[in-house]
Structure 1
Amino acid sequence: MIGPSSTAAELIAHLQALRSEENIAGMARFGIVTETALGISNPDLQKIARAAKRNHARALELWQSNVREARLLALYTAEPKKLTPDIARTWADDFDSWEIVDCAADLCVEARIEALVPEFAADDREFVRRTAFAMMAGAAVHLKQEPDETLLAWLPLIAAHAADPRNFVRKAVNWALRNIGKRNLRCHGRALALAESLAASDDRTARWIGKDAVRELTSEKVVARLERTSAAQ
């Protein structure tokens, strides 16, 4: 029975018992790296994480397993207050999948180590750079008490890397720009201005990022929500 006292080895054995070859094949169609996958869905992993509870030392052990599901479980059960920039950097060396990156980015935001954003953005490795922009996207939504200046200070990073054509980077850059722009009216104006500038770029990737962001940030639904929120404050 899985619970708070379960060891890393016991959790990994439990995961291995749930292996599904059919699910592994299905995951590959969604761009999930399956070399070490067991075919367990994220909702099922989250149920296991809730039963196992947070345990940072055990999470570190789970990460070392190199098994997809064990690493996701490590991210779900790590203790944000104990996640240091050095641990995040070490884990980033192993990033090889968008789903691991996006989960790790959420944890980094919860751990309040968003100071790593510029460092990760400057890193040329595709999935490490994606982490920076996934962190921006998450922070724009979840750090509601954070001053707008923190997020607006990231716009130059978005501009600087908008020409990176790699699929998992460009999508994350676009995601970050859209989420910052949807935060409130003040952020909306600055983000939309950047989106419009990128939309006029000679670079194909930057132009795609800009046009897609302009499309969402100027939609009636988004503008109406921001105006309602502003009026209520």
Structure 2
Amino acid sequence: MPSGSPAPRRNSKRVQSSPDAVLPGVDDAASIVAKLQRLGTQKTRDGMSRYAIPSDKAFGVPVGTLKTLAKKIGQHHNLALELWETGWYEARMLASFVDDPAAVTSAQMDRWCREFDNWAICDTVCFALFDRTPHAWTKVELWSTRRAEFSRRGAFALLWGLTVHDKSADDGPFLRGLDLIESAAEDERHFVQKGINMALRAVGKRNPTLHAAAVETATRLSDSPHDGARLIGTDALRELNSSAVRKRLAGRG
């Protein structure tokens, strides 16, 4: 990213547990996976399939239940690594909720990103964990050129999350993000398109200056000869030009 990228931010406030803390029934990855298996239901698994979330490696535990369990566990980096390695959907979701952003390495982010296999894991890891790490902006740039569908989506899920959670960033990194959006917008894959669309809209809703820049980007995309880019631009303009968005931004001018 260009000079002017924001300095690392303070971690979000979470309950801190020592690496050696033992909680009844959730003291290690194996016992947590066993607990998740007991909490799962076929009804939830069926619902996952309807939302294009693979359920062959899932127990069917609601996200709300996972967040409650994460609060009981507290922040625990080593446990998060172990949970991720199990490969279970809910264990990986839980890993993103309990990991320590300050302890997450660049290599860990790349490794997990390569293993994203659905939009829900991709978005949750990026929104709940990766966008709070000191490496986030570097990965937006790097992953935007990846060929794997969910790795590339990860770049724009990160950008989307940073528009909300990086309160200290100036406009520079987000303007660069708009360049990356425009460069990737011809990717016709559905989940990449959705990630780009949401990132474009989120950047445009951050402040009036970025709104104007995002509208310009969306307008160019809406005139593109490529179907995917044109759809992204047209859809983003619909929200960015809405009275609700303009009214909210007017109060920030």
TM-score, normalised by the number of residues in structure 2: 0.88
2-structure distance, mates of 1:199, 1:175: 15
- Cα offset, 1:128, TM superposition: 0.3
Q: Which amino acid is 1:76 matched to?
A: F
Counterpart for residue 191 of structure 2: 168
Which shifted more, 88-97 or 121-130?
A: 88-97
Encode CA deviations 1:181-206: one digit per residue, 9 max, x unaligned: 00000001111001001001111110
Contact 1:56 1:77 in 2 (8 A): yes
Encode CA deviations 1:93-137: one digit per residue, 9 max, x unaligned: 211010100011121111132211111111100000000000111
* Secondary structure, counterpart of 1:44 in structure 2: helix
Encode CA deviations 1:161-214: one digit per residue, 9 max, x unaligned: 101111110010011110000000000111100100100111111000000111
With over 3 angstroms needed to count, the CA separation of the structure-2 counterparts of 1:188 and 1:152, relative to structure 1, is: same
Counterpart for residue 200 of structure 1: 223
1:88 to 70, 85, 109: 109
Counterpart for residue 147 of structure 2: 124
- Per chain length, whose mean CA-contact separation is higher, i.e. which structure has more relative contact order (CA < 8 Å, sep 6+)? 2
Higher helix residue share: 1
* Secondary structure, counterpart of 2:51 in structure 1: coil
Counterpart for residue 28 of structure 1: 49
Q: Which amino acid is 1:19 matched to?
A: G
- Cα offset, 1:3, TM superposition: 5.8
2:60 to 2, 27, 39: 39
Task: Give yes or no for the alignment of 1:140 onto 2:157.
Answer: no
1-structure distance, mates of 2:239, 2:33: 42
1:49 to 70, 95, 98: 70
1-structure distance, mates of 2:235, 2:55: 30
With over 3 angstroms needed to count, the CA separation of the structure-2 counterparts of 1:31 and 1:5, relative to structure 1, is: closer
Q: Which amino acid is 1:165 matched to?
A: E
Matches within 5 A, 1:74-113: 74-106=95-127, 107-113=129-135
Task: Give yes or no for the alignment of 1:225 onto 2:248.
Answer: yes
- Cα offset, 1:22, TM superposition: 2.1
Runs of 5+ in structure 1 lacking a partner? none
1:71 to 83, 92, 97: 92
Q: Which runs of 4+ in 1 moved over 2 A?
A: 1-5
With over 3 angstroms needed to count, the CA separation of the structure-2 counterparts of 1:158 and 1:120, relative to structure 1, is: same
Give the number of equivalent residue pairs.
230
2-structure distance, mates of 1:80, 1:153: 24
2-structure distance, mates of 1:3, 1:55: 15
Q: CA RMSD in A?
A: 1.4
Contact 1:96 1:127 in 2 (8 A): yes
